[in-house]
A and B are shown apart, each in its own frame.
Chain A
């Protein structure tokens, strides 16, 4: 187990291992997403109150949860990079930042699209919405800081520090937003809170899309990390061999 984890820290080993693993992951991910989306959008019964509007939860909720957990993953990777100087961890963190920002943007967009028919407005300064907006800003900050450095190593170290500062601050921001919101306006009652009252026909497709989107996170992160590995190791012999091999095949 430790041996296996240790080997993952080597860029070359990470690349080779994911080469055999990625097609399976992609297959399972696409299967889950297609089943979940077709079922959820086409066959699940409409909600008695929101009609067909609610169907956007099949995308909205998993992307929102994903956006939060990707930050946690990024922070763990940043810590591993800072403590043990594991290069692959940093590459995964770099890949996660953009995927996380993307998921955050999708969650905000689908939330706005859903909010219009159900709440009557695209945007309200509700605690959940506000803290997601700030999470999005923090992702943007991490990406901007990394790209501002000319040197790869300084940029990745700086981004790691900022990621860790963010992970201390984000729970505080969340609770500040919750507190702030309750003073100004009552929280909007999302029908999600009555998840238990929903019949299985509604939540089983959500289960599929949820796991499908988790799979999609890993697919995106792994693919971006593989590109990053090839770019950073472009002078290494094994990458040059790989390129020659690919060129010979074409």
Chain B
């Protein structure tokens, strides 16, 4: 009998594929954050002022803040069902480095939940009368920023997955830590509207992403080991 062992790359692909497949088979986990995104954004003209000049001033901030909240609400599907059916324990026991498993898992999750948010954002920005020159920085910012939000959210989710009701606690933990991404992301749009270059801010967002990619999986792993116990 020969033992087949997967290399790091193989395990990374397997985890990634599994994450995509699981999310694909539960469309609610993909659609609900998007619906939340659309509905929450549409509340601002209703609750505030439908005047386009007012809306264009707050458009980028509203899109960014609601995207941040939507990412946070989508985190539940990252670990919850795996925790309940025991596959999270198997992941922690696997001989391949946990770091790469988690990186693949978060990447797969971002592709299915974060990327749709980015794709949908120009439509919502248009409904909020965002000026033309601000679309490119908004989309680039969300593209670079949402993976960081996913990684930070995954730390919070990993810390709270063992608790029965974690929704509000997750918000308390994750939102303060997400502020730099929000500040740089909306800053890009403000800079573009003022006619200033925003490449420096893209670089800062990229630096945050690299930092999160290199450190967050370690924190997620430590947190999962505590939660699974």
Contacts and interface: CB of A to CB of B under 8 A. Distances in A.
B163 A138 contact: no
A238 interface: no
B27 interface: no
B97 to A, nearest CB: 19
B179 to A, nearest CB: 6
Contact of A169 (B177, B184, B187, B226): B177
Given A138-B177, A149-B163, A168-B215, A161 B172 contact: no
B173 A145 contact: yes
Contacts of B66: none
Nearest to B162: A154
Interface stretch (A40-48, A106-114, A174-182): A174-182
A164 interface: yes
A176 B155 contact: no
Taking residues whose C-beta sits less than 8 angstroms from the other chain, chain B's interface range is: 20 to 34
A140 B175 CA distance: 12
Contacts of A219: none
Interface string B139-169: 0000000000000000100011011001001
Nearest to A166: B177
A176 B172 contact: no
A154 B227 contact: yes
A176 B159 contact: no
Interface string A219-235: 00000000000000000
Contact of B180 (A137, A141, A169): A169
Contacts of B159: 145, 158, 161-162
Interface of A: 82, 134, 137-138, 140-141, 144-145, 148-149, 151, 154, 157-158, 161-162, 164-166, 168-169, 172-173, 175-177, 179-180, 183
15 contacts: A140-B172, A145-B169, A148-B160, A154-B227, A161-B159, A161-B222, A164-B219, A165-B219, A172-B180, A172-B208, A173-B176, A173-B179, A176-B184, A177-B183, A180-B183
